Chain A
């Protein structure tokens, strides 16, 4: 137990050694999160990779329209010291640009393309970041932004079925009672034997 906890402490020490994070979240013994500045991301990633966090588990973003910010999240994992490290940074929402990390983690190539596709964040340094990956021939604003309305998109693009009649039942309770009565009558009528 203490050993695993010391892993988290180790990461914390490592990060503080380089930068001063805005927020430090120790979620549990296997997860820790830091919120840092945009220009510190590459330095920290490099430091973490050298310290053994060789697996780039995930890269994505969160839309904060109220703050007019995108929060880019990097999740790393170390196979020797089992700790997930989250690095978060907030970038400008009107012109979202953050440098690519494929020089540090080549595997981030497709995560960055996905992120660009769903949020519209540009990753200069990744030669393919603007190419389509999952959404084929998308022609609207990136769909995971909060200001994108899927219902409106669906109504605009996909024909809706129109119903001429309304099939929903009104005053369902009374019918239920009547039905129960009818069923009882029928059961009575089927009863054999001597009628009273």
Chain B
């Protein structure tokens, strides 16, 4: 016998159920962002004030993590030399999904003051997808924090899809990596 007062909700399709679960997951994900700090360049100096009592990153649920497996954000702080980029790509591929990339400073955007160097790349988003750029040389701590808040907003609005893009355009990214780096893996006496 069916109650007249409460009618059962219409049966949701699988896609809708998945979407609902995804939104719940997004809530948790944006409130607990763990960073892997790949301190590649000088912008890393902005992180200590961001973490300690001046700006207190922990109140947003953020914190540093030791390994890429545990982390959500790959934090690229500063210029990327060719050698670092190889390791960065390797690390990025080891992270668990969903994963986000935040790049600090002007060097990952257009090369910055190293735009004509033979050893430093010019544009990070050609090799891995970047969700948030924080411009400045170097960006001050408020803008770094603002970048993280922007990322949270993007996750909420389902715009932080860099990791999906990486899957969709995997061949394009790989081709770019190979033009600039040759093979990503290095085989020589120091790695055998």
Contacts and interface: CB of A to CB of B under 8 A. Distances in A.
The DSSP consensus for interface residues of chain A is: loop
B183 interface: yes
B82 A154 contact: no
Nearest to B126: A159
B122 interface: yes
A17 interface: no
Contact of B186 (A131, A137, A140, A160): A137
Interface in B101-138: 109-111, 115-119, 121-123, 126
B121 A137 contact: no
Interface stretch (B4-12, B37-45, B174-182): B174-182
A159 B118 contact: no
A163 to B, nearest CB: 8
A188 interface: no
B185 to A, nearest CB: 10
B189 interface: yes
B171 interface: no
A148 to B, nearest CB: 7
Contact of A159 (B82, B116, B123, B182): B123
A154 B123 contact: no
Contact of B181 (A137, A140, A160): A137
Interface residues of B, number: 24
A147 interface: no
Contacts of B111: 154, 158, 160-161
B122 A161 contact: yes
Contacts of B176: 159
Interface size range on A against B? 10 to 19
A134 B188 CA distance: 11
B86 interface: yes
Interface string B23-62: 0000000000000000000000000000000000000000
Given A136-B82, A136-B86, A154 B122 contact: yes
Interface in A4-21: none
A161 B182 contact: no
Contacts of B110: 160-161
B19 interface: no
Interface of B: 82-83, 86, 109-111, 115-119, 121-123, 126, 176, 179-183, 186, 188-189
21 contacts: A136-B82, A136-B83, A136-B182, A136-B188, A137-B182, A137-B186, A139-B182, A140-B118, A143-B119, A150-B116, A150-B117, A151-B116, A154-B111, A154-B115, A157-B180, A158-B123, A158-B180, A160-B111, A160-B115, A160-B122, A160-B123
Q: Which 10 A-B pairs have the closest CB atoms?
A: A137-B182, A150-B118, A151-B116, A161-B110, A158-B122, A153-B118, A159-B126, A158-B121, A136-B186, A161-B123
